[in-house]
Chain A
Amino acid sequence: MDFGSEIELARRSSSGGLRSILKMSPAKRREARWGLFFISPWLIGFLLFYLAPMVVSLIFSTYNFTLSAPDDAQFIGLSNWQRMLFDDPKTWESLFVTLKFALISLPISMITAFMLAVLLNSKHLLGRNLFRTLFYAPTMVPLIAAILIWSAVLNPQTGWLNRVIEFFGIPAVGMNGLRWMDDPNLIYIAYTFIGLYGIGNAILINLASLQNVPTELYEAAEIDGAGWVRRLWTITIPMVTPVIFYNLVLSIVGLLQFFIVPWVLNRGNGYPEGTTNYYMVYFYKQAFTFQNMGYGAALAWLMFIVALIITMFLFSTGRYWVYYSGKQRS
């Protein structure tokens, strides 16, 4: 199964859906009923907790709606959309910033998470349980402590990071040293580094999927004399592509919504040189700080559309590289 054809199917079935239901054989109808039974919890939850709020927020985007004065909201048609798409340069600037950061950060964090999972799955690693727990630990650091830790560690003058680098003989400490949060050339590296503190879940998913690779495949390959790299490349990675795919989609979605780190580290002021003006930071500033919820809703919907396009694109490429060993019953 792949998503390219799923989208195609979705298109077709939504046009002729009812007719095809009527034409169903009894067996198919039974299966459909069971399928709907299984997905019913989500379906009910979606209708209750998602659909209505989504529609309402779409309506917001056509209003001049100040958060603190909801009664004074005025219908202004597509003005918010026009401002966002054509008059407000910050929309595209912040989208560009977000995409640029995603391109830098995504491969680093995905590869790190996967390689760490491989390491933590290695039967040669002594004390695996402890290692796994410790590598997961940073994910559990509460937000408030994380702010304190990162602003202290990255401080150019007193932070540990620069002092460690200096220890290896590279001048880093001081006003003319490595200023992680002030230098537009370093800021994305610093943020990526901070982001690595949130990859615990990705490691965990990778790890769970590595456990699922049948061991006899490795044994067979070993007999064939395949080296570690070749085994990784020809067995492990293909077997876990569904989970890599999952991580990829979630990482991209997560990066498009990148918000918490810049928000807590510099209150979303874009410093230095606007490099931290991420899209969601801009959205949050408009919607909550400046209380322009109407405009904020339009911005959020644009992000939704962009993310949807990227995700659909990813799904359509899935057929070429994602391997599912189980098949759908049909």
Chain B
Amino acid sequence: MNRFKAFSMLAVSVLFLLVSVGTLSAQDRIQIRWYVGLGGGTDAPLIEREEQVAADFNASQDEIELTIEVVDVDQAYDVLSTQLAAGNGPDVVGPMGIRGRASYPGAWLDLTSLIESTNYDLSDFDPALVDFYHVEGDGQLGIPFAVYPSFMMYNRALFDEAGVPYPPTAYGEPYVDWDGNEREWNMDTLRELAMILTVDANGNDATMDEFDPESIVQFGYGTQFTDLRGRDTLFGAANFVDDAGNAIIPDNWRAAEHWYHDAMWKDFFYPNGVYGNSELLGGQGGNWFGTGNIAMVTIHSWFIGWGTADLEAEWDFAPVPSYEGVATAKLHADTFGIMKTTANPEAAFTVLTYLLGERADDLTTLYGAMPARLSLQDGFFGRYTESLGETYPNVDWPSLNWDVVVAGLAHPDNPNHEEGMPAFLETSARYGEYITLVDNNADEDVDAALDTLQSDMQAIFDAAAQ
């Protein structure tokens, strides 16, 4: 009995001790937590520099203590959900795109009153870009930080080997093909060119009768690291929601899906689900272009640098091809948001303006983004290529065709391919299932699969409307 009592006493006192140790460390500075993970910024080399930014901020003043939480993108959404549900949300979140923001509807603070009360100067931004973060009913949820234009990247060595000319160097220019004919730089031209650049183990290309689709060693083209809306946007901007809030499959996107399905299973120049996740292209979710086994990809500027760190071949930028006369270079725009649940909106806003102001230059260079601040855009590429050269000396950065990267900004997708949808997370999960289905099965009926997708999305929208 004595032993029993002693044990209980011990257990209880240990518990209290632990509780008091946990609560003892009260600080007098305002605590602000910066959460990184909904977009880029979660890789080892970046984390160190982000931590440096936080340390610099803490050294620059003595009111606020900024701590940084970095969670890998695979888990970042779940961890943030858990924190929010338990009332332990961070204060500042970013960098993140529209997808990150749309995943937490209603969780973001309207910055309007803070902008007004601090007289925050927005004149350094393109007003259209400021408006990009204005959400009807929710207010101003962000201040522009950076944009990531998209473009095509092509592997020069693979073009040389095939003996075909490189893609055009500017929007509007034609493609001069292997016979010297000028062609419009569009999806049909891309298809023919990409087939020549697709090769099997015997060296036959996809235009030949002897071509063996079971032993492909090099692919012609792919849209890398994107989802269904992302890849279909190459065929023109649209959305799965019409004005009345119903689910639709836009006609140009239906055409796009046929194009992709044929590209994978008939013309074989585009990696299907099996090849796309094989070691040939970097494994599950691999970096296709970085393997050197694909001739062309379309991708965003956040890929620049790390994406080609291991690529020995020379490469360059090119314009994205057009569809029905229109080239659409989809745009990513990132910002930092403040969570509604923050206990110190003013302090969080101070941090936000520090990241978007004083440190905007460092951070945009770090993330491979074009700064949204007009004053920073001048000379940006000079600073950027210099910084790239230090980290990735394997590429002669200034020699690349940066003009075509900038020109892509003039062909943005409107509506954006990450635009909101009812029940955003559920809907995007559903269309992800569509991709898995058609990209892994040669005889899948694209039209039927799209019709099922439409009716399923309609059901999700209807349930969300209730």
User: Interface segment, A112-120, A220-228, A283-291?
Assistant: A283-291
8 smallest A-B Cβ distances: which pairs? A151-B284, A37-B4, A67-B81, A67-B85, A68-B104, A174-B214, A271-B436, A158-B278
Q: B284 near A147 (CB under 8 angstroms)?
A: yes
A271 contact set on B, CB distance < 8 A = 433, 436-437, 440
Q: Please, which residue of chain A has its CB at the minimum distance from the CB of B423? A: A290
Q: Is A156 positioned at the interface, with any CB of B under 8 Å from its CB?
A: yes
Q: Is B426 positioned at the interface, with any CB of A under 8 Å from its CB?
A: yes
Per-residue contact bits, chain B 394-423, to A (CB 8 Å; 1 contact, 0 not): 000000000000000000000000000001
Q: A289 near B280 (CB under 8 angstroms)?
A: no
Per-residue contact bits, chain B 62-105, to A (CB 8 Å; 1 contact, 0 not): 00000000000000011011101111000000000000000111
Per-residue contact bits, chain A 268-303, to B (CB 8 Å; 1 contact, 0 not): 011110000000000001001111010000000000
Given A158-B279, A158-B280: A44 and B11 interface contact (C-beta under 8 Å)? yes
Chain B residues within 8 Å of A, Cβ to Cβ:
1, 3-4, 7-8, 11, 15, 77-78, 80-82, 84-87, 103-107, 213-214, 273-275, 277-280, 283-284, 423, 425-426, 429, 432-433, 436-437, 440-442
Give which listed residue, A69, A72, A270, contacts B433 with CB less than 8 A: A270
A54, B103: Cα distance in complex, Å: 27
Q: B84 near A68 (CB under 8 angstroms)?
A: yes
Q: A33 near B1 (CB under 8 angstroms)?
A: yes
CB-defined A-B contacts under 8 Å, sample of 6: A34-B4, A68-B85, A68-B107, A151-B284, A173-B214, A289-B78
Q: Please, which residue of chain B has its CB at the minimum distance from the CB of A173? A: B214
Smallest CB separation, A320 vs chain B (Å): 37
A159 contact set on B, CB distance < 8 A = 278
Q: Please, which residue of chain A has its CB at the minimum distance from the CB of B272? A: A175
15 additional A-B pairs beyond A147-B284, A157-B274, beta carbons within 8 Å, are A65-B85, A68-B80, A68-B81, A68-B85, A69-B107, A70-B84, A175-B442, A182-B441, A266-B436, A269-B433, A269-B436, A270-B433, A272-B440, A289-B426, A290-B426
The count of chain A contact residues (Cβ–Cβ below 8 Å) is 40
Smallest CB separation, A278 vs chain B (Å): 15
Give which listed residue, B85, B425, B440, contacts A289 with CB less than 8 A: B425
Given A36-B4, A271-B436: A152 and B279 interface contact (C-beta under 8 Å)? yes
Given A147-B284, A151-B283, A293-B85: A175 and B436 interface contact (C-beta under 8 Å)? no
Q: Is A230 positioned at the interface, with any CB of B under 8 Å from its CB?
A: no
Smallest CB separation, A166 vs chain B (Å): 12
Q: Is A40 positioned at the interface, with any CB of B under 8 Å from its CB?
A: yes
Per-residue contact bits, chain A 106-150, to B (CB 8 Å; 1 contact, 0 not): 000000000000000000000000000000000000000001100
Q: A269 near B432 (CB under 8 angstroms)?
A: yes
A13, B433: Cα distance in complex, Å: 52
A67 contact set on B, CB distance < 8 A = 81-82, 84-85
* Majority-rule SS of B interface residues: helix
Give which listed residue, A48, A182, A269, A291, contacts B425 with CB less than 8 A: A291
Q: Please, which residue of chain B has its CB at the minimum distance from the CB of A267? A: B432
Given A158-B280, A182-B441: A175 and B7 interface contact (C-beta under 8 Å)? no
Q: Is A155 positioned at the interface, with any CB of B under 8 Å from its CB?
A: yes
Per-residue contact bits, chain A 151-170, to B (CB 8 Å; 1 contact, 0 not): 11001111100000000000
Per-residue contact bits, chain A 69-108, to B (CB 8 Å; 1 contact, 0 not): 1101000000000000000000000000000000000000
A148 contact set on B, CB distance < 8 A = 283-284
Given A72-B106, A182-B440, A270-B433: A40 and B4 interface contact (C-beta under 8 Å)? yes
Q: B84 near A40 (CB under 8 angstroms)?
A: no
Given A67-B85, A69-B106: A175 and B213 interface contact (C-beta under 8 Å)? yes
B104 contact set on A, CB distance < 8 A = 68
Q: A155 near B81 (CB under 8 angstroms)?
A: no
Q: B274 near A41 (CB under 8 angstroms)?
A: no
A147, B432: Cα distance in complex, Å: 19
Q: B278 near A155 (CB under 8 angstroms)?
A: yes
A36 contact set on B, CB distance < 8 A = 4
B84 contact set on A, CB distance < 8 A = 67-70
A72, B280: Cα distance in complex, Å: 48
Q: B283 near A152 (CB under 8 angstroms)?
A: yes
A157 contact set on B, CB distance < 8 A = 214, 274-275, 278, 280
A267 contact set on B, CB distance < 8 A = 432
Q: Please, which residue of chain B has its CB at the minimum distance from the CB of A285? A: B429
A175, B104: Cα distance in complex, Å: 40
Q: B4 near A33 (CB under 8 angstroms)?
A: yes
